[in-house]
Structure 1
Amino acid sequence: MKQPKPNFYNLAWRWHFYAGLFVAPFMVMLALTGLIYLFKPQLDPLMYGSLMNVPAGHHAVSADDLLKRVKQAYPQGQIKQYLPPINAERSAQFVVINAGQELNVFIDPYHGDILGEQDAKKNLQALARAIHGELMIGTVGDRLVELAAGWGVVLVVSGVFLWWPRGQFAGVLWPRLNSRGRVLWRDLHAVTGFWGAAFLLVMLLSGMTWTGFWGKQYAEVWNTFPAAMWDNVPKSDVEARSLNSATRQTVPWAMENTPMPMSGDHAEHMAHGTAPAGPAAPTISLQDVQNIAVQRKVEPGYSITLPTTATGVFTIAVFADDPRNDATLHVDQYTGDVLADVRFEQYGSVARATEIGVMLHEGKMFGAFNQIVVLLICLMILLSAVSGVVIWWKRRPDGKFGVPPLRHDLPKWKTGVAIMLALAVIFPLVGASLIVVWGLDRLMLSRQVTRNASA
């Protein structure tokens, strides 16, 4: 007997299963680590109160004196960054590379006493951020997270198509709570996914802007500044993204692909390609740079990254909870000239929307309300992932590993096919893996048809 060709509904069902099987562990991981990072503003003062909290004083020690105290405590260390107190009751912080280890060193801004240190890469928040972004395995982890997020988009789109109400609203718009077993789990999965689809898409897409492959391409296409902004500034080959890492955010996303300016005698050294080599030797003080930040009304919470080479710059940057307060300033280490001062107003429209999306993603845009919304989304993700695995387990064919049988037989959905192909083009890693999945799917189907025919 001739087997009917699978329609798009069948295809969407199988792809939804494949995507769910791959994505579920990642979604659980992203939701749990996201929850930890979401409540960083509340957790940090509780966990590290002895390091972060100080009694408000009347006279603050200068940044240069604080720097001297830290250098005395870590004579072999390299001072990488300075974070002035965010308010009158918080300590100042230095990031120090000491014996190959990156340390957060906390210091009392009123007395100059060093309060203690923490491993910058192994504290709870840094670990959560590193796992969330790249599974703590670098580029490979970044690509896996990106692939999972891309397939998460496929999961949402195919899920909405599969569960779209077709005359029956119970079990899709609301769960049938009087049901038990598989039906109840199925309803929880469908209802959660149906109402949460838009929120999940926002979370996935805003998160993908930070990924190393798709995010970098996205930034190069959409995140541009007028070339004239850098015309009179000596530029290096280093991009501002070099200041960011898996565990530490320094410059805003919108600034990542901008060139780092260079310090020095612009007329003689830069024009003739004879820029001085060697380590940084700034002639302006750290307090001078902090004064520039204050004079230019940079929002508290900013960091000052110190130059590491003779042509490097001081970078004042704040990745603000409200993106409208973002600021990135590059300061010549010899003259104190501000070589670049980029604010939210200079971002392009897509960059502005992306920065707002990132802050919504991190739960920072509207304070506690935003945190509660993201908390609910994370819980929704956990429920959707767990319920999806449960209903598969309860319906897996003959107790084997495979796709549960379909009960539907609907005509091919051409619009759905077009959307899936568009997703494959928009997200290249998803497109490449989709081809692999499609090939394996065809192979398994052909084997199944052969077995049925021989039977």
Structure 2
Amino acid sequence: MSISASSDATPATGLDRRFYLAAWRWHFYAGLFVAPFLLILAVTGMTMMLIGYFDGREGERITVDVPASAQALPLTEQSQVVLNSFPGSKLVEWIRARQPDRVNVFRIARADGGQSMVAVDPYAGNVVDSWNRRDGWYDFADNVHGELLLGTTGDTIIEIAAGFAIVLVITGLYMWWPRERSFLRTIIPDLRGQARDKLKSLHLSVGAILSVILVLFLISGMSWTGVWGGKIIQAWSTFPTAKWDNVPLSDDTHAALNHDHKEDMPWALEQTPLPASGSDVGAAGIPEGKPIDLNSIAELATRLGFDSRYRVSFPRGEAGVWTMNQDTMSADAEDPFADKTVHVDQFTGKVLADVRFADYSLAGKAMAVSIPLHMGLVTVWNLLLNVIVCLGVIGLSLTGVIMWWLRRPKKMSARLFAPQLPQDMPHWKNAMLVMLIVSLAFPLVGATLIGLLVLDVLLLSRLPALRRIYA
């Protein structure tokens, strides 16, 4: 929505008008803060989706020639080629080729402490390409999108901005809501009249159309944030350890398999402890007497229903397990309902845990579906819709700023010229109730709202210098 848009159906008098002016003022302040971040999120989000679709995130789209015999080398031989090419390195992960004419990709931990991705021709048995992991344009855009290149501080700023964007949508919908006109007339932009009138009508229509999708985007994106996502929603909705309380547990959680703090494991599993190797428990997996290596793990994965692209993490330490994972969030498949994660004892080959979509909590299922939708990974139509939404958000942010600039009196360039503060508005009875609800749902946003209310109601009324700038 905008930072200064008003509806043609502005209530003329009474409490409705005061509520409208209050909503407009909150919409203005929220937009003033949120617009730059919405632009950043939309541009970087669209960048990631397009790079992921055309180039792939992990080099999985590199093609190779398929010989007439089409006989791939054993995976253990392919992995040995990688180790021979990078002396002193350790195998961390194998990413299965999605199609026969694509490379297998191995992730290694180098002797110098860094990590590399190595693409191997499965037929010729040679290294096709290698590169530092998480060192491309996709990853740069991802870091900006999630943390503004500022680490935890940036993550907190993004969480507050996303929460305020929800406030922006709610206040924008309140101002847009049809009062004296039909719903159809309010949803179709009226491009007649002055430039600002055209922008306002276009802004209102696009904002109303995108409002529900934008809120879903914001909530699913906030599931990865540090406070609302990690401390509240994810912690409450994580996969229960009791599902595998008959197997020994590691001190590490599934988040340890993310590598470099990137989200490779399903959201619902991140905070759940990993099973540990070294016991006799578990379900039948790799037949007794057969070597427990990448070849037999891949064969077991096929028997358990893994196909197309999936990932295998190698055991870490004596308690580590083999982990097979396939989820839509990691661009493995287009069907989020087919998510699956399986852990195998590195010594016995027994299956210690087998987690499917049906095993997730309600919130876990919602995230398993909404996150890949957020990332444009569920079919090409999802990608196209998301690109349109990103372009719409860019348009909303720009038109909101332009309308505010056109509305400002030319002789008051030093002032923000916010919408007027309504008189006789029951702030403490209504605004505090709204803030209480918002604070409970989004703590960082609630704390910021309280600070803004203090600024708007107390400081501005007592400090003439501030009032001249913000009023």
Q: Does structure 1 retain, via aligned residues, the 8 Å contact 2:248–2:279?
A: no
Q: Deviations over 1:335-382 (max 9, x none)?
A: 1111111011211233212211112111222x1211121111111100
What is the distance in 1 between the residues matched to 2:452 and 2:56?
47
What is the distance in 1 between the residues matched to 2:252 and 2:113?
23
Q: Does structure 1 retain, via aligned residues, the 8 Å contact 2:155–2:226?
A: yes
Report the residue type matching 2:386 in the other structure: V
Q: Note closer, same or farther for the CA distance 1:421–1:172 as it changes in structure 2 (3 Å cut).
A: farther
Q: Note closer, same or farther for the CA distance 1:375–1:317 as it changes in structure 2 (3 Å cut).
A: same
Q: Give the CA deviation at 1:450.
A: 11
Identity %: 34
Q: Tell me which residue corresponds to 1:264.
A: 278
Q: Give the CA deviation at 1:188.
A: 2.2
Q: Tell me which residue corresponds to 1:231.
A: 245
Q: Does structure 2 retain, via aligned residues, the 8 Å contact 1:284–1:336?
A: yes
Please provide the CA RMSD for this pair: 2.9
Q: Tell me which residue corresponds to 1:427.
A: 442
What is the distance in 2 between the residues matched to 1:79 and 1:410?
68
Q: Does structure 2 retain, via aligned residues, the 8 Å contact 1:9–1:410?
A: no
Q: Tell me which residue corresponds to 1:31.
A: 42
Instruction: Find the partner of 2:162 among 145, 149, 158.
Output: 149
Mean Cα deviation higher: 408-417 or 367-376? 408-417
**TM norm structure 1:** 0.87
Q: Tell me which residue corresponds to 1:299.
A: 307
Q: Does structure 1 retain, via aligned residues, the 8 Å contact 2:44–2:145?
A: yes
Q: Give the CA deviation at 1:101.
A: 2.7
Q: Note closer, same or farther for the CA distance 1:297–1:181 as it changes in structure 2 (3 Å cut).
A: same
What is the distance in 2 between the residues matched to 1:69 and 1:138?
36
Q: Give the CA deviation at 1:10.
A: 3.2
What is the distance in 2 between the residues matched to 1:187 and 1:404?
20
Q: Deviations over 1:282-306 (max 9, x none)?
A: x721212212211111132111111
Q: Does structure 2 retain, via aligned residues, the 8 Å contact 1:185–1:387?
A: yes
Q: Tell me which residue corresponds to 1:20.
A: 31
Q: Tell me which residue corresponds to 2:286.
A: none
Q: Tell me which residue corresponds to 2:237.
A: 222
Q: Give the CA deviation at 1:235.
A: 0.8
Q: Note closer, same or farther for the CA distance 1:124–1:419 as it changes in structure 2 (3 Å cut).
A: same
Q: Tell me which residue corresponds to 2:266.
A: 252
SS of the aligned residue for 1:52 comes to coil
Mean Cα deviation higher: 137-146 or 66-75? 137-146
* Structure 2 unmatched ranges of 5 or more: 1-13, 282-290, 329-333
Q: Tell me which residue corresponds to 2:338.
A: 325
Q: Give the CA deviation at 1:412.
A: 6.2
SS of the aligned residue for 2:77 comes to helix
Q: Tell me which residue corresponds to 2:366.
A: 353
Report the residue type matching 2:314 in the other structure: L
How many residue pairs match? The answer is 431
Note the 1:32-111 alignment, pairs <5 A: 32-44=43-55, 52-57=62-67, 58-98=70-110, 99-111=112-124
* Structure 1 unmatched ranges of 5 or more: 268-282
Mean Cα deviation higher: 141-150 or 164-173? 164-173
Instruction: Find the partner of 2:318 among 305, 310, 321.
Output: 310
Q: Note closer, same or farther for the CA distance 1:351–1:371 as it changes in structure 2 (3 Å cut).
A: same
What is the distance in 2 between the residues matched to 1:45 and 1:160?
37
Q: Tell me which residue corresponds to 1:275.
A: none
SS of the aligned residue for 1:309 comes to coil
Mean Cα deviation higher: 378-387 or 205-214? 205-214
Report the residue type matching 2:210 in the other structure: G
Q: Note closer, same or farther for the CA distance 1:348–1:405 as it changes in structure 2 (3 Å cut).
A: closer
Q: Give the CA deviation at 1:171.
A: 8.2
What is the distance in 1 between the residues matched to 2:371 and 2:127?
34
Q: Note closer, same or farther for the CA distance 1:186–1:445 as it changes in structure 2 (3 Å cut).
A: farther
Note the 1:1-12 alignment, pairs <5 A: 7-12=18-23
SS of the aligned residue for 1:254 comes to coil
